[in-house]
Structure 1
Amino acid sequence: MSSSYATVLRTPGAARLFVPALIGRLSYGTVSLSLLLATAGATGSYARAGWVMAVFSVVSVLLFPTRAGLVDRYGPRRALPPMAAGYAAVLVALAAATWTGGTPYPVLLLLAVAAGVFAPPLGPVTRARWSALITDPELRRRAYSLDTVAEELLYVTGPLLAGLLATVARPAVGLLLSAALVLPGTLALALTAHRAEAAPAQATGQAAPRSWALIGLARQPLAAAAGTGAGLGAFGLLAVVFADRCGGAADVAWVEAALAAGSAVGGLAFGAVTWRAGSATRLTVLTLGLGTALALTALAPNVAVLALLAVPAGLAVAPTLTTAYLLTDELAAPEQRTRAGAMVNAAFNAGGSGATALAGLLTARVPLPVCLLLAAAPVLAAALVRVGGRARRVTVGQELAA
């Protein structure tokens, strides 16, 4: 296993890609909790802070494929720096606005919208760059696995760092840190992505494939990402409710840690093993396994057992997302990889947001074990979706029916 990942990191250009990508993406790990705490402190209301977070998340998710499409069209060197500069500037403005109370609430909402508009698509850009650097399919799968696991760990350590800053200083300091991370990380990432890897769509003289064409072709990875996001989003909220009803909401940290640890182990193991089955078949099996594991959590009598049952679910998380990205990469043409990967990201986030809201409504009306079973339903449903017909790439100028 160590040899496999060492080979990935020894690939020429891999270190110059991986390090700045991690620095930039750590910003997304620190910004959410920092923005929530800073806004709550400035407004005196967690409800208003929740709306600010919701606005930021919704705008970011909805415009994610559009920003990624700009990277495909104009190249990372031209598209990423303005996004990073705008995003960092808005975060600094949010830090100033929440440093003390008194900023009008509509101003905070407008700044949250601006942050969502500018947030650079670092994950899709990184994965597209891995595809350009590594041509061997097995080695690329290991690179994607390593990238997915690293990204998940950033989303675990980021909130811890933001919480520490909020304890020793002000929550707004976390927003300043997020700005300080995203700007140099994104600029360095843009410098590593050479325009010669894939010609921008407008240079060919043909129109780029429409988004609905990509959706039609990549419906299996999109469904898997949306189902996984929905299952994990609902499970995360239900785990908090479960722990609270068992006597201590803080005990949910053990469940989250078990899920994250299982995902890290599963992701690294998945990348190190050689698989004979194709990506579409692997994605079906992994999605089915994840849904089954989530359904089994309905049997948990206490938090300790729930944490144990979260481990097998976690083992399937990183491999499922990695395979969804790999299959999308196989189906999309090189000049569409960034936008296609961003659509998978957007599907995952949209599924998580919608299912979290729905799970919150169900907990007051439906028994908790039934809610946990329902959390597995979108993942299991996603396992029924397969690539239609013979898998083939979207080429520039084609319009494929969904």
Structure 2
Amino acid sequence: MSPSSPAPSRAPSYAAVLRTPYAARAFGSALLGRLSYGVAPLSLMLAVNDATGSYSVAGSVMALFGATSVFLSPARAALIDRYGPRRALPPMAGSYAVLLAVLAYATWRPGAPPVLLGALAVTAGACTPPLGPVMRALWSRLVPERELLRRAYSLDGVAEELLFVTGPLLVGVVIGLTVPAAGVAIGSVLVLVGTLALVSSPALRGGGAAPAAKEAGPDAPRRRRLLGVAGVRHAALVAAAVGLCLGGLDLLVVAFAEQHGRGPAAAWVLAALSAGSAVGGLAHGAVAWRASNRARLPWPAVGLGAALAVAGLSPDVYVLAMVVAAAGLFVAPALTIAYLVADESVTEEVRTRAGAWVNTAVNAGSSVGTAAVGLLVDRWPPVVCFAVAAVPALLCAAVVFRAPVARGAVDRDGAAGGAVSRP
């Protein structure tokens, strides 16, 4: 290695990530498809409500859609690992897009049978292509250098955060011009075009994400039990804690704003959360950390939990917005580190599935957090509810702090590191 090479590798830029051969096209394609996940669910909920005239039906349909989408994510990721994204993604995206189009057609006018909408939603959720895990697995192949990979994951996390801000804004424009079902149709087009663009990119054609080897050796049973891998288990635990906190926080912000007579301000407080997360993600990626990803894994969860506990003491919505923005600073770093730890804890053949477990954990945690806080918010004062919402992050961080580091896995540099725990 030349004497001049270490400097750029110690402090790589975000531009260097996008200058990686084929990375910009693949990343842009994946983001286009992932924008569907910010557009379609909200549009579908509004469209079902319009078509049936029932919030309970809309909520039930969305619960079915979300459940199959979240909990079947590792199974879909396993298909990606087994057959490769070029073979597995198009059927998933095609089926998902067609089902969304059928849902858009069924909800365009009132009178759609709730049972039919529920069946379509369940099937569509089961086909949701795991574009996020696929892109993160692709980053780990396109960007083998560790510091640059950390930048890539930070950039990916911040971009995903912004998609979930942009998506609802786009839905607002759509329903201002036409019916909500049009947003479902737009989501169908976005995911299909984005996925096809991704699988046709040189990053995949060039062998950067070739189908995983289908080995049946002695290690195969261990690969199927990914939550038995210490790094994956700890990453999923922290991600679930973040999801629990965020799911509870969303509802608490709405309740807090309404109790203070400023209901519409809840949207601005949640926007502050997203803005804080974006800033935190970019800052995390810009720092050349000396500690390993595993050593840093629990710390953002501690920061998030502490900020949530303080948020309950806010005297008004303005202070709440500032504290929530501070809490957001820890969200993207927590998830970025979790994905990095999961990625470096497994072999290439199951990398997409490992990332999918982290993704499933945060989404499932969010759903559970919202439901749990919903049972408390009308009974307990805000300061107590915010403190309860902070508990998962602090508890999970404590568990990860106390857990011994497993040994014997493949490190990013090829040396022995903590990863696959032995059965």
TM-score range, shorter chain: over 0.9
Please give the per-residue CA displacement for 1:224-255, whole angstroms capped at 9, x wherever unaligned. 00000000110110100000111122110121
Distance in 1 (CA, whole Å) between partners of 2:327 and 2:356 is 24
Are 2:218 and 1:204 aligned?
no
- 1:401 deviates by 5.6
3-state secondary structure, aligned to 2:399 = coil
Q: Would you say the 8 A contact 1:331–1:391 is kept in 2?
A: no
Amino acid in structure 2 at the alignment position of 1:17: A
Q: Which residue of 2 aligns with 1:304?
A: 318
Amino acid in structure 2 at the alignment position of 1:166: I
The equivalent position to 1:371 in structure 2, one of 385, 388, 391, is 385
Distance in 1 (CA, whole Å) between partners of 2:29 and 2:47 is 27
- Bigger relative contact order (CA 8 A; separation at least 6): 1
Aligned CA distance change for structure 1 residues 393 and 186 (closer, same or farther; 3 Å): farther
Please give the per-residue CA displacement for 1:323-371, whole angstroms capped at 9, x wherever unaligned. 0000111101111110000000000011110110010110122111100
Q: Which residue of 2 aligns with 1:102?
A: 111
Q: Would you say the 8 A contact 2:229–2:345 is kept in 1?
A: no
Distance in 2 (CA, whole Å) between partners of 1:38 and 1:382 is 38
Matches within 5 A, 1:151-162: 151-162=160-171
Unaligned runs of 5+ in 2: 1-7, 412-418
Distance in 1 (CA, whole Å) between partners of 2:56 and 2:121 is 15
Aligned CA distance change for structure 1 residues 360 and 315 (closer, same or farther; 3 Å): same
Amino acid in structure 2 at the alignment position of 1:212: R
Are 2:148 and 1:127 aligned?
no
Are 2:284 and 1:260 aligned?
no
Distance in 2 (CA, whole Å) between partners of 1:134 and 1:377 is 36
- 1:112 deviates by 0.4
The equivalent position to 1:69 in structure 2, one of 70, 78, 89, is 78
Percent of matched pairs sharing the same residue? 53
Distance in 1 (CA, whole Å) between partners of 2:407 and 2:246 is 28
The equivalent position to 2:94 in structure 1, one of 68, 72, 85, is 85
Matches within 5 A, 1:3-402: 4-192=13-201, 193-194=204-205, 196-197=207-208, 200-201=211-212, 203-206=214-217, 207=220, 209-217=222-230, 218-386=232-400, 388-393=404-409, 400=421
Q: TM-score scaled by structure 2?
A: 0.91
3-state secondary structure, aligned to 1:151 = helix
Farther off after superposition, 384-393 or 82-91:
384-393
Aligned length in residues: 400
Aligned CA distance change for structure 1 residues 213 and 125 (closer, same or farther; 3 Å): closer
Unaligned runs of 5+ in 1: none
Distance in 2 (CA, whole Å) between partners of 1:383 and 1:389 is 14
Aligned CA distance change for structure 1 residues 98 and 198 (closer, same or farther; 3 Å): closer
Distance in 2 (CA, whole Å) between partners of 1:222 and 1:347 is 6
Q: Which residue of 1 aligns with 2:5?
A: none
- 1:213 deviates by 3.7
Q: Would you say the 8 A contact 1:295–1:372 is kept in 2?
A: yes
Please give the per-residue CA displacement for 1:67-114, whole angstroms capped at 9, x wherever unaligned. 001000000011000000000000000000000012211000000001
Q: Would you say the 8 A contact 2:408–2:421 is kept in 1?
A: no
3-state secondary structure, aligned to 1:249 = coil
Q: Would you say the 8 A contact 1:294–1:376 is kept in 2?
A: yes
Distance in 2 (CA, whole Å) between partners of 1:195 and 1:181 is 24
Distance in 1 (CA, whole Å) between partners of 2:246 and 2:384 is 16
Distance in 2 (CA, whole Å) between partners of 1:115 and 1:401 is 37
Q: TM-score scaled by structure 1?
A: 0.95
Q: Would you say the 8 A contact 2:409–2:420 is kept in 1?
A: no
Please give the per-residue CA displacement for 1:125-174, whole angstroms capped at 9, x wherever unaligned. 00000000001100000000000000000001101101210121010000
Q: Would you say the 8 A contact 2:77–2:353 is kept in 1?
A: yes
Q: CA RMSD in A?
A: 2.0
- 1:204 deviates by 2.9
Amino acid in structure 2 at the alignment position of 1:366: W
Amino acid in structure 1 at the alignment position of 2:405: G
Q: Would you say the 8 A contact 2:406–2:420 is kept in 1?
A: no
Distance in 2 (CA, whole Å) between partners of 1:247 and 1:166 is 27
- 1:399 deviates by 8.4
Distance in 1 (CA, whole Å) between partners of 2:68 and 2:263 is 30
Please give the per-residue CA displacement for 1:21-46, whole angstroms capped at 9, x wherever unaligned. 11000000001110010000000011
- 1:200 deviates by 4.2
- 1:212 deviates by 3.1
Amino acid in structure 1 at the alignment position of 2:80: V
- 1:197 deviates by 4.0
Amino acid in structure 1 at the alignment position of 2:24: A
